[in-house]
Amino acid sequence: MLCYCRTVTYCSIQFKNGQFGQKKETLLKEKLQGKFIVLDGPDGCGKSTQAELLTRWLKDQGVPTGSFRDPGDTAIGEKIREILLNPEHLAMSTRTELLLYMAARAQLWAESIAPALQENRCVVLDRWLSSTCAYQGYAGGFGADKVIGIAADCLERIWPDLTIILDVDLNTASGRLDRQLDRMEAKGDGYHQKVRDGFLQLAKDRKDFLVVDATAEVEKVHKSLIEEVNIFF
C-alpha cells in the first residue's frame, strides 16, 4: 500500500509539473506575441549572433517569431545596404547615410515588420533607429534629435517595445572583426568611441532601452538577454 501511495503521489507531481510548464509557455507566448524587440550596439558587439539565438529560443518556447536585419531583408533594402557599406564609397556624407538608412528602414517596415506584427508575431530586429541616432546622430554630428525628427516623418513607428544595447569596449569589438571591414566599420576608433557613447546616452534617456554587457562569451550573453526579456515583459 505504501508503495502504491508513493506511485500516485509521484504521478500527481509529474502531472502538475507538466501543467506548470504548459502554463508558463502559454504566459510567455501571450506576453511576447506582437512585441517588437531590437538588438543594437557598436560594430563587433555580437548583435547578429544574439538576434539569431534569441529568435531560436523564442520559437522553441512556442512564440511565433519573425527575424530581420536593418538595413536589408528586402530587395530594395539589400541594394541600399550594398551602397552604404561598400568601402569604395568614401565620399558619402553623413546626411546621405542618414537618408539611405531611413529609406531602407521604411521599406523593411512596409514589406516585413508591419505584416509580421499584424500577424501577432514577435519581431526580433538586428538594428533600427537607435543605430542611426548613435552613428549619424552622435558620431556623425548630425544630432540625435534631428535624426528622430526625420524618422517621425519617414516611419510609421519610431521605437520598438524594447531596445537592448549590447555594449562592448573598442578593444573587444575590434578583436571580433577579424575580416575585411566594411565602410562603416573602417571609420576609426575615434568615430566608434562616439558611437558607443551615443548608444549609452540613448539608453540613459529612455525607459524602453536596456544595456547588456556583451564582452562575455556568447552563451552567457544569450542567457542575460533571456533574463532581461523575461523581466521587462
CA 78 remoteness from chain centre? 18
Q: Average the pLDDT over each of 6-10, 21-25, 95-99 and give the range with the smallest value.
A: 6-10
∠ at Cα 79 (78, 82), nearest 5°? Answer: 90
Q: Can you give the pTM of this predicted structure?
A: 0.88
Residue 4: per-residue pLDDT: 35
Tens digit of pLDDT for each residue in 131-188? 999 999 999 999 999 999 999 999 999 999 999 999 999 999 999 997 899 999 999 9
Q: 136, 126, 26, 154: which is closest to 145 by C-alpha?
A: 136
Residue 15: per-residue pLDDT: 36
Using 50, 70 and 90 to split pLDDT, how confident is the model at 27?
confident
Question: Class assignment of domain 34-232?
Answer: alpha beta
* Residue 123 clears pLDDT 80, i.e. is over it: yes
Let me know: does 183 contact 90? Beta carbons within 8 Å.
yes
Q: Where are the beta strands (DSSP E) in the chain?
A: 36-40, 65-69, 122-126, 162-167, 209-213
Q: 43, 52, 38: which is closest to 218 by C-alpha?
A: 52
Provide the 10 A C-beta neighbour count for residue 133.
Answer: 25
* Residue 58 clears pLDDT 90, i.e. is over it: yes
Q: Which residues contact 129 (CB under 8 A, 6 or more apart)?
A: 105, 147, 148, 151, 155, 158, 159
Stretch 37-59: mean pLDDT: 97
